[in-house]
Chains A and B, each alone.
Chain A
Amino acid sequence: MKNLKLNKIKLTGVFLILFVSFLSVSCADDILDKKPVTEITPDTIDTEDGVIRVVNAAYDPLQWKLEGPAETFQQMFQSVRADDLHSQQANFWGNGAIFDQFSTVRSTNQSVAELWRKLYAGIGRANFAIEITQEFNGFITDGLKERIIAEGKFLRGFYYFELVKLFGDVPLFLEAIRTTEDELFKERSSVATLYAQIEQDLADAAAVLPKRGESADVWRATSGAALGMLAKVQLYQGKYSETVATCQQVMTHGYQLEPVFADNFELQNEFGIESLFEINYIDGVPNEGSYSWQYMFMWAGGVYTSWGNMIPRQSLVNFYDDSDQRKSATFILPGDDLNSPGLESLGWSPAPADFAFKIGSSALNKKFFLTFEELEPLLAVNQSPKNEKILRYADVLLMFAEASLMGGGGDGAGAFQKVVERAYGPANPAAPAYDLAGVKAERRRELATEGWNRFTDLVRWGDIQAAMDAVGKTDFDINRDTLLPIPDAEIQLSNNILTQNPGYNN
């Protein structure tokens, strides 16, 4: 009996020893080797689909308008900062109001920092997509590898072009940063170097990407989009004959003007015949819509709860002839029928004949408008599914017309005529003549409020000072304000490897 008990004790003892040694030895390893449970690492990408997802993420920053502490609407930098829009009907939107004036834009501005972050996030993701695609050996679909790389290059080119237009010289990263052991900061490259890289990327992309209609994913970059962007990059550099040649190439891709201008901005007509590239917004997935509707419209009641930001200047409205069909397609004006029973019941369709904002204008942006009925079923009313056009065929035609006038060759007049005729109808005396003033005026009218051109067009034309004088922006300083400041935090982080743009004082 005693022996038995002793044995039992010994056995249990041995068991316990084994248990504890197991616990301490094997567990110690397990306990200290924790791998992400619900996240994945780049090593996890081992299918074609996985690689496609990497390039999809590089499109994502196109959508960003409010990701951090401040907004980055393209209109803030191109339209509010120029002579097209006021930041707001009243004075609640502090971040936007800063761009109404120039002296209030400082190097610590949060919207500028967010814009920088957004564009470099796009570049980093494009670089990562290009690298992952090159590293991945398991492609089975013909041409997929090349296509993904081309999409990456298109996006990289696009993001760098935005940076160059708004900031001038910026650091050029062509490799994805992954760890702290990579080079995190670089000196700013010159605009010329950047343009060379952008042209190279867009040309490479154009050579590989499918044409409009050749791909099932209408939202992906096409060779037409790449050429159209390339044309603009060339125009910005004053390379007029190259611009003409590139535009002529685009013209072989089957694009046409929408017969009715307003159809460009209809929810039912996304990726239409005139569209080269646009930001894809959808309903039904959180944060995949645009804030534009809620920021831009009036508070009418019900779900129609919007904030009245980015209001067209009355001078812009008055810049259109009443016979110009773009006027009613670009603005909501007093008395306009908005074709919405919901808005009608709220007294906003037709728009009140006497509506006038404190800022001194009576207009709203029609291009981003949603009817009450379009708004009502949305997952969230601040998430508009309406796509936003980045490049339209009309823009290409106007670039062609301008480059041709500037000595680039080609039939610029014909291209100009197409845009003008759609706007004013045939033989309308209100239509401008085909000269430089006419092209500039049409470029403003055609692309107004879309947010990609106005300020930087004025700068490249050398018209910025006059335009700012005309709207009474007396604090505009041409030696400083043609470019945005490099974010102050970035300069400090880089230990002054980055330098500031002139006039921003640090």
Chain B
Amino acid sequence: MSENWLTTMDYVIFLADTNKIDKFTLIIIHNKLTNYRFMKNKFSKIVFGMFILMTSNTFSQSVSGNVTSNTGALPGVSVLIKGTTNGTQTDFDGNYKIDVINPNSILVYSYIGYKTQEVTVAGQTEINVILEESPEYLGEIVLIGYGQSQSKRTLSQAISTVSTKQIEDLPVSRVENILQGAVPGVTVQQNSGAPGSSSTIRIRGVGSPNSSNPLFMVDGLPVTTLEHLNPDDIKEMTVLKDAASIAVYGARGSNGVILVKTKSGRKRSKAAISISGYSGFQYLGNKPDLMNASEYINYYNRGVAEAGGNLNGNRGAFSEAERDALPDTDWYDAASRDAAMSNLAVSLSDGGEKYSYSISGGIFDQDGVFSKAGKSNFNRKNLRASLNADVRENFQISVSASVSKRVNSYPVGSIGSVNALPSIYPTYAENGEIFNPGRQSPAPEYNGVPLNVMGEMTNPLWELNDYQGSEAINDFINYGVSADWQPIKDLNIHAAYSKFKDNGFWRQFTPSLGAVYPTQDFFLRGSYTERPSGFANDQIRTTAAYTFSKLALKGHNLDVIVGYEVIEEENNFGQDKTNISDYWTNDFNKVNFGLAVDRFNTVFTPSKKTERGIVSYIGRVKYNFKEKYLATGSFRNDNSSTFGKNFQSGFFPSFSLGWVLSEENFLRDSDWINLLKVRTSWGISGNDSTGAYENLSTGDTSSPYGNNSGFTLVRVANPNLKWEELEQFNVGLDLTAFNNAFNLSVDYYSKETTDILLFGSGSDSSGLEPPRVNVGGVKNTGFEVALSYKKIADKFSWNASLNVGYNKNEVTGLGNNGQDLQGGFTGALFSDPITLTSIGEPIGSFYGYVVEGLDVNGNLLFKDLDGSGNDKRNPEATDKTFIGKPLPDLTAGLNLGASFSGFDFSAFFYGATGNDVFDATIRYTAIGSNRPASYLQEGAPRNMAVAAPGDSNGENLVSDFHVKDASFIKLKNVVFGFSLPESVISKLNAEKIRFYISGQNLFTLTEYEGADPEVGGGILSSGIDTGFYPQSRSYLFGFQINF
């Protein structure tokens, strides 16, 4: 079996590119070059040319060997015969072969980041070299996708990386968080502080009201999420930002691409075992300043006095005796607790002459600070293995597989009622039952003190702590196999198959509470729901890459890659099963449909399944002359099933140019400049991230009337649906100076999305959901600065890096008629939408009235902006204007690090300015709801504690009264570490033993008075604080041991 298989691999097959399938050409190349056949097309001519080039080589003596470093084989090391332009590079496994004429030639081995070595041939035929890392390394190798990498020095695109070193020392729970503040132009916003909650990543602003999520590629495979990954498995992350770097990803790259490379073994390395972990606790850091019980009573009593006897059915003023009898509940304290968090990761990697492998696994567990233990928890277990092997000298295969299980328990309750319920309400009633402030008969009472009925505001502990349970279990499977073959020198042919699967299972249970707590009169009916779901994608990819190494000797570094790629996706939304009845258990962990009192009451909602396919052809050329003049060009043709037959194909080109000034004579000998480069790029990428079949008019079979099934059209079809396109221009400068200690990167970019795929230009008069159409445009312009300085010395080293991204977002077009998009619906809270997306404004801006002051009674007065002369308490729709925006102008990250004989320290600050929050945490619709403590001061709006139904003081309207400046600076992370000295660890046979303590979210400087100024949300509903799970403060103790 295996022998057969190997012989078949003596062949490689790749596809040349053309747009039309009938012109496909298959090229077969025998590895001995004895038997090849070419078909007539341009590509085959290129390949033919390569062979001619190759076969013309004839030399007298050859030297071979391999180059390694302390971490394993080194690919891409330049091997040059000193004093000549003859040379080569090591291959993927660090092997090289070079022909020399003179036995006394000196070979020069150089590689960026390593000390250059020279070895005299002296008749040797095999020379193996171990390169030592240079502390002053100039640059790094940057992934650019499709298996290719490029030295940072010759990069003319805007690409940022987060290196192993940066990742290693950061105890983060999620892979995305590695990027926060680490890369200019990338904003990572945690949507919630709940354990395991996702983050929103935006690269260079929000390009579209649709998904603006970047494309995630893990080891070359597109995945929908990074949450299955263990941060400890990440080797490095690369962010492709400008069009020249993303256009090769065509239709899916328009929001930027994040390449994640996981750790793998290296050939000819020694076995390395690494164990790391941390453990710690978290607690609620910031709380908004709400009224305490006594303050609330003062406020209430003042309201009673002002009401002049008309209490509208509310109770009267509280007496001093009543004040003493009532509790002072801090709902934030009552609902939160200290929670544990721990992580353990183990990895093993090893490599021999012809193989390398790695195995790693980890367990991460985090409890949430809100709700009781077990109610809010995130647990991730993962296992990953990879193997690379040389089947032949010129043929390598690699297989990798990872499985990951994620269990996320989360409370269902809204944190909104934590803000809304006054402190005078107790958590638990005298008889130990959870207290129900909404009980209507008999009305709530505590310690003999009658309390007002608090209507919709439930006791938050009911949902958070006591009863409702919800759990999402996801099993991720990711595997791939790939082969690389070098039939001739400089040509690498790559074929890969990979698969990603996410099998989800979600369940939620609300037991019958009335049976447990009869006197508190809660909603009674139990409800249990289960929903499986699944996502899978398959990818087949073939590429052929050729490096013109002959030209390199003359200074022309040229390589090309062409490829073909097919991705198929299947999304299964799962069948929803719900049974609303009583259950024989109240325990979430035990419940199942068998325990329903009425088992046959289960309702099934049919599952929905969609499929999607993309067929792509790619090509890229990289060129530089003596690493001085740089250029790249790429193209991609994508064909997506998402669109109608005539609009499936899209063409996405890009170009970039760079000039390394420091290689020019006038700077070459500069004492202080190591690298100075200017670069520019232009390109087009696309987006097909719409729902499946949106070009069609599909029907809904689930619109019954009573027992009679019905069929109706769902939406207006749009047969002309096509790609959303993004055109981006970038210009940048890189400077490295002072012995490579100082680095500066500056980028200016301008990117405009056009033909945005939008819903909303269909009318309600059509009776259907609106079609998806290509309308609108969004422009993002901005600049990014990354600045770093490091001082490395034997005893004391330090480094600092600052990155700043400024972005201006502007909507440049909308709909056929430029109609605005509304967003930010809060249901009962505010009857008007909070955001409006309008031409000339940033996307999802807050839109409402402008408060000009208060009248004598404390009612908000709104500016009569349309000059219609209306009553200022009752503004008209035309008095609305733009009152704020959720997107920051500037985001910045600052890293400080230092080390001193075994001790290390690092701190990471993250901040943003120009971002507003719409504070919707207060339930203005509920009479008697709690208010911030500031309402006790002069100038607060009229007291509504005992207001009449329907009465309003203007707080209930969407206005700038609720818009708060949410600029902030956070100390996200501080780490103190200590590594045991060499003398100790060598006795223990270890490479490294380090212990550290770390604190996260230690402080936040902000004027925003809510729990957290970092408020996420959807693109059109971002920055609206309706009371959410704030990020916790945590302290961790951790260790790293490497053998």
Contact yes or no, A24 B15, CB < 8 A? yes
Chain B residues numbered 94-153 whose CB sits less than 8 Å from any CB in chain A:
none
Measured CA separation A312–B709 after assembly (Å): 36
Q: Which residues of B contact A100 (CB under 8 A)?
A: 950
Q: Which residues of B contact A110 (CB under 8 A)?
A: 825, 831-832
Contact yes or no, B697 A42, CB < 8 A? yes
- Chain B min CB distance to A296 (Å): 14
Q: Which of B578, B607, B711 contacts A54 (CB 8 A)?
A: B711
Contact yes or no, B4 A12, CB < 8 A? yes
Measured CA separation A298–B443 after assembly (Å): 13
| Closest partner residue, chain B, to A504 (CB atom) | B877
Contact yes or no, A20 B26, CB < 8 A? yes
Digitize B810-825: 1 where CB-to-A-CB distance is under 8 Å, 0 elsewhere: 0000011101101001
A interface residues, how many (CB within 8 angstroms)? 124
B interface residues, how many (CB within 8 angstroms)? 114
Contact yes or no, B609 A180, CB < 8 A? no
One of B391-399, B520-528, B555-563 contacting the partner: B520-528
- Chain B min CB distance to A247 (Å): 28
Q: Which residues of B contact A173 (CB under 8 A)?
A: 765-767
Known: A24-B564, A91-B950, A92-B925. A36 touches B765 (CB 8 A): no
Q: Which residues of A contact B606 (CB under 8 A)?
A: 38
Of residues B8, B314, B439, B764, which shows the largest number of chain A Cβ atoms within 10 Å of its Cβ?
B764
Q: Which of B441, B601, B762, B831 contacts A70 (CB 8 A)?
A: B831
Contact yes or no, B717 A179, CB < 8 A? yes
Tell me, yes or no, whether B699 is within 8 Å of chain A by CB.
yes
Q: Which of A178, A284, A299, A379 contacts B717 (CB 8 A)?
A: A178
Contact yes or no, B24 A98, CB < 8 A? no
One of B329-337, B368-376, B611-619 contacting the partner: B611-619
Q: Which residues of B contact A197 (CB under 8 A)?
A: none
Measured CA separation A171–B767 after assembly (Å): 12
| Closest partner residue, chain A, to B520 (CB atom) | A301
Known: A24-B24, A91-B927, A303-B524. A487 touches B764 (CB 8 A): yes
| Closest partner residue, chain A, to B773 (CB atom) | A180
Q: Which of A53, A70, A298, A358 contacts B710 (CB 8 A)?
A: A53
Contact yes or no, A177 B768, CB < 8 A? yes
Q: Which residues of B contact A45 (CB under 8 A)?
A: 711
Q: Which of B313, B568, B720 contacts A31 (CB 8 A)?
A: B568
Chain B residues numbered 9-39 whose CB sits less than 8 Å from any CB in chain A:
10-11, 13, 15, 21, 24, 26, 28
Tell me, yes or no, whether A124 is within 8 Å of chain B by CB.
yes
Contact yes or no, A32 B696, CB < 8 A? no
Q: Which of A42, A123, A379 contacts B713 (CB 8 A)?
A: A42
- Chain B min CB distance to A448 (Å): 21
- Chain B min CB distance to A171 (Å): 6
Contact yes or no, A12 B7, CB < 8 A? yes
Tell me, yes or no, whether B46 is within 8 Å of chain A by CB.
no
| Closest partner residue, chain B, to A217 (CB atom) | B708
Contact yes or no, A38 B615, CB < 8 A? no
Known: A177-B766, A492-B817. A302 touches B704 (CB 8 A): no
Contact yes or no, B829 A94, CB < 8 A? yes
Measured CA separation A482–B817 after assembly (Å): 30
Q: Which of B521, B612, B699, B765 contacts A301 (CB 8 A)?
A: B521
Chain A residues numbered 12-64 whose CB sits less than 8 Å from any CB in chain B:
12-13, 16-17, 20-21, 23-25, 27-42, 44-45, 50, 53-54, 56-60, 62-63
Tell me, yes or no, whether B692 is within 8 Å of chain A by CB.
yes
Digitize B429-463: 1 where CB-to-A-CB distance is under 8 Å, 0 elsewhere: 00000000011110000000000010110000000
Q: Which residues of A contact B13 (CB under 8 A)?
A: 16-17, 20
Q: Which residues of A contact B767 (CB under 8 A)?
A: 117, 120-125, 127, 173, 176-177
Q: Which residues of A contact B773 (CB under 8 A)?
A: 180
Measured CA separation A252–B519 after assembly (Å): 56
Tell me, yes or no, whether A265 is within 8 Å of chain B by CB.
no
Contact yes or no, B26 A103, CB < 8 A? no
Q: Which residues of A contact B26 (CB under 8 A)?
A: 17, 20-21
Contact yes or no, B712 A125, CB < 8 A? yes
Contact yes or no, B764 A113, CB < 8 A? yes
Digitize B583-611: 1 where CB-to-A-CB distance is under 8 Å, 0 elsewhere: 00000000000000000010101111111
Contact yes or no, B716 A107, CB < 8 A? no
Tell me, yes or no, whether B1022 is within 8 Å of chain A by CB.
no
Tell me, yes or no, whether A357 is within 8 Å of chain B by CB.
yes
Contact yes or no, A180 B712, CB < 8 A? no
Measured CA separation A35–B698 after assembly (Å): 10
Q: Which of B540, B639, B720, B832 contacts A108 (CB 8 A)?
A: B832
- Chain B min CB distance to A128 (Å): 6
Q: Which residues of B contact A179 (CB under 8 A)?
A: 697, 716-719, 771
Contact yes or no, A489 B24, CB < 8 A? no
Tell me, yes or no, whether B56 is within 8 Å of chain A by CB.
no
Tell me, yes or no, whether B312 is within 8 Å of chain A by CB.
yes
Contact yes or no, B698 A39, CB < 8 A? yes
| Closest partner residue, chain B, to A387 (CB atom) | B706
| Closest partner residue, chain A, to B601 (CB atom) | A379
Tell me, yes or no, whether B59 is within 8 Å of chain A by CB.
no
Chain A residues numbered 60-116 whose CB sits less than 8 Å from any CB in chain B:
60, 62-63, 69-70, 86-95, 97-98, 100-101, 103-104, 106-110, 113, 116
Contact yes or no, A95 B523, CB < 8 A? no
Measured CA separation A225–B187 after assembly (Å): 61
Known: A13-B11, A37-B611, A40-B701. A489 touches B580 (CB 8 A): no
Tell me, yes or no, whether B852 is within 8 Å of chain A by CB.
no
Measured CA separation A12–B4 after assembly (Å): 9
Known: A60-B704, A108-B832. A8 touches B765 (CB 8 A): no
Measured CA separation A62–B705 after assembly (Å): 9
Measured CA separation A60–B714 after assembly (Å): 13
Tell me, yes or no, whether B939 is within 8 Å of chain A by CB.
no
Tell me, yes or no, whether A398 is within 8 Å of chain B by CB.
no
| Closest partner residue, chain A, to B826 (CB atom) | A69
Contact yes or no, A9 B8, CB < 8 A? yes
Q: Which of A31, A116, A284, A359 contacts B566 (CB 8 A)?
A: A31
Contact yes or no, A94 B831, CB < 8 A? yes
Tell me, yes or no, whether B896 is within 8 Å of chain A by CB.
no
| Closest partner residue, chain A, to B527 (CB atom) | A380
Contact yes or no, A301 B819, CB < 8 A? no
- Chain B min CB distance to A254 (Å): 23
Tell me, yes or no, whether A402 is within 8 Å of chain B by CB.
no
Measured CA separation A97–B614 after assembly (Å): 51
| Closest partner residue, chain B, to A346 (CB atom) | B441
Known: A42-B713, A91-B947, A106-B876. A285 touches B707 (CB 8 A): yes
Measured CA separation A42–B711 after assembly (Å): 9
Contact yes or no, B615 A31, CB < 8 A? yes
Known: A53-B709, A359-B949. A34 touches B612 (CB 8 A): yes
Contact yes or no, B763 A28, CB < 8 A? no
Chain A residues numbered 177-236 whose CB sits less than 8 Å from any CB in chain B:
177-182, 184-186, 217, 219
Contact yes or no, B925 A54, CB < 8 A? no
Tell me, yes or no, whether B308 is within 8 Å of chain A by CB.
no
Tell me, yes or no, whether A495 is within 8 Å of chain B by CB.
yes
- Chain A min CB distance to B462 (Å): 13
Chain B residues numbered 399-432 whose CB sits less than 8 Å from any CB in chain A:
none
Tell me, yes or no, whether B693 is within 8 Å of chain A by CB.
yes
Measured CA separation A10–B313 after assembly (Å): 93
Tell me, yes or no, whether B982 is within 8 Å of chain A by CB.
no
Known: A17-B28, A92-B926. A23 touches B540 (CB 8 A): yes
Tell me, yes or no, whether A450 is within 8 Å of chain B by CB.
no
25 intermolecular pairs with C-beta atoms under 8 Å apart: A8-B4, A12-B7, A23-B566, A27-B566, A28-B615, A34-B613, A40-B701, A53-B711, A54-B711, A56-B705, A59-B710, A90-B313, A92-B926, A97-B950, A106-B832, A116-B764, A117-B764, A178-B717, A180-B773, A288-B705, A302-B514, A303-B514, A352-B441, A359-B949, A490-B765
Q: Which 9 A-B pairs have the closest CB atoms?
A: A124-B767, A358-B313, A57-B710, A31-B613, A91-B949, A495-B817, A299-B440, A57-B712, A56-B710
**Apart from A104-B874, A357-B313, A492-B819, what 4 extra A-B contacts exist at CB < 8 Å?**
A31-B641, A39-B693, A41-B697, A490-B763
